[in-house]
């Protein structure tokens, strides 16, 4: 990292900003040139983009801002409606936190997203990456948001050979060095991510198109395709669960909203969470259960895993007790 001198930083920043001005992709949450982005749009897109691609997120983003044009509208929405609109994006905890965060912004912040990273971190569902992204993109604050794209660009630019995740502190330091004192932090953050997404790609990086090609250490060494290195992944443990399929003579089946009652217990290698279920023979349909048919299945925000289970059950591929 020492090979990049402080005096080179303003030139590198300008090169990335010029490149971003020319090559940035149009995205529904991006402000048009010369306008400040809407913080609600920036926050919503960043939450949706966690573990989900830009192509998938686009229609969901449009659906959300169509139904709930402001953070006030989203805060006033019913959680079940938000979960139903989210169906298909996965990781439902994100949707629950999205709703909680909208309520917190309205109730605690007067409907305005805070500008600074430490204030954003106080809100539900906002971690260090999202706080930095919202602070810099929406408010042009000098915060450095390091996502997977930025990690790749930085580890190649400085030829950081230490494997991830051990190299994270060095990558953060490298990203901070490149962003230090930049004039347009919001555009720089987006440019950094855009470079990783479109030019400095995981395979077959397009180095001849890169604004940093003359200064990139990995390119000079010819090792860009090998970086970032990664520690071998631990073997994924397999967990087992059970699905109870209850249908009636009318061809309906019973779905039940998960109760808030749960017991958590830590074992050495994993945490176990038990949902507590109860019922009696006089009233087998629990209070929150509802009989539905295949036709109105889409009215309920069921996770992909549950949809797979339902398909199997409907095809009669079940064990009987």
Taking CB under 6 A as the criterion, which residues in 221-250 touch ligand SF4? 224
Pick the closer one to ligand SF4 by CB: 60 or 158. Answer: 158
Rounded Cα–Cα distance for residues 232 and 240 (Å): 25
Verify binding: residue 177, ligand SF4, rule CB under 6 A: no
Pick the closer one to ligand SF4 by CB: 89 or 199. Answer: 199
Pick the closer one to ligand SF4 by CB: 132 or 218. Answer: 218
CB of 115 to ligand SF4, least distance (A): 30
Is there a cis peptide before residue 165, judged by omega within 30 degrees of 0? yes
Q: If DSSP codes are grouped into helix, strand and coil, which group holds residue 240?
A: coil
Taking CA atoms, 306 is separated from 86, 309, 311, in Å, by: 15, 5, 9
| Annotated catalytic residue within 46, 119, 214, 262 | 46
Catalytic, 226? Answer no
* Member of 17, 134, 178, 218 binding ligand SF4 (CB under 6 A): 218
CB of 196 to ligand SF4, least distance (A): 8
Binding mask 140-169 for ligand SF4 (x = CB under 6 A): -------------x--xx------------
Buried b (16+ CB within 10 A) or exposed e, 109-135: eeeebbeebeebeebebbeebbbbbbb
Rounded Cα–Cα distance for residues 49 and 234 (Å): 25
253 - beta bridge partners? 247, 292
Taking CB under 6 A as the criterion, which residues in 30-89 touch ligand SF4? none
Sole residue written with tokens 């089946």: 253
- Sites of contact with ligand SF4 (CB under 6 A): 153, 156-157, 199-200, 205, 207, 210, 212-213, 216, 218-219, 224
Catalytic residues: 46
């Amino acid at each position: 990292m020492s090979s990049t001198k402080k005096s080179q930083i303003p030139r590198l920043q300008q090169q990335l900003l010029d490149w971003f001005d020319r090559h940035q992709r149009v995205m529904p949450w991006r402000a048009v040139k010369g306008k400040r982005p809407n913080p609600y749009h920036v926050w919503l897109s960043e939450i949706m983009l966690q573990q989900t691609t830009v192509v998938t997120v686009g229609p969901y983003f449009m659906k959300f801002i169509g139904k709930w044009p402001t953070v006030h509208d989203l805060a006033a929405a019913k959680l079940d409606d938000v979960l139903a609109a989210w169906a298909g994006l996965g990781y439902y905890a994100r949707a629950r936190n999205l709703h909680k965060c909208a309520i917190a912004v309205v109730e605690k912040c007067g409907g305005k997203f805070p500008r600074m990273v430490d204030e954003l971190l106080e809100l539900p569902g906002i971690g260090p990456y999202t706080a930095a992204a919202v602070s810099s993109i929406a408010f042009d604050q000098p915060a450095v948001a390091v996502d997977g794209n930025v990690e790749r660009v930085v580890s190649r630019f400085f030829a950081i050979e230490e494997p991830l995740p051990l190299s994270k502190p060095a990558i953060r330091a490298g990203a901070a060095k490149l962003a230090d004192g930049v004039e347009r932090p919001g555009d720089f953050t987006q440019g950094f991510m855009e470079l990783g997404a479109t030019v400095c790609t995981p395979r077959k990086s397009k180095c001849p198109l890169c604004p940093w090609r003359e200064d990139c250490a990995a390119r000079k060494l010819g090792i860009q395709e090998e970086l970032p290195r990664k520690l071998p992944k631990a073997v994924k443990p397999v967990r087992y669960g059970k699905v109870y399929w209850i249908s009636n003579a009318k061809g309906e089946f019973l779905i039940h909203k998960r109760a808030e009652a749960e017991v958590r217990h830590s074992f050495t290698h994993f945490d176990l969470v038990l949902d507590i279920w109860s019922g009696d023979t006089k009233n087998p349909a629990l209070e929150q259960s509802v009989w539905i048919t295949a036709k109105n299945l889409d009215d309920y925000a069921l996770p992909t895993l549950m949809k797979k289970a339902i398909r199997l059950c409907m095809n009669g591929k079940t064990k009987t007790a």
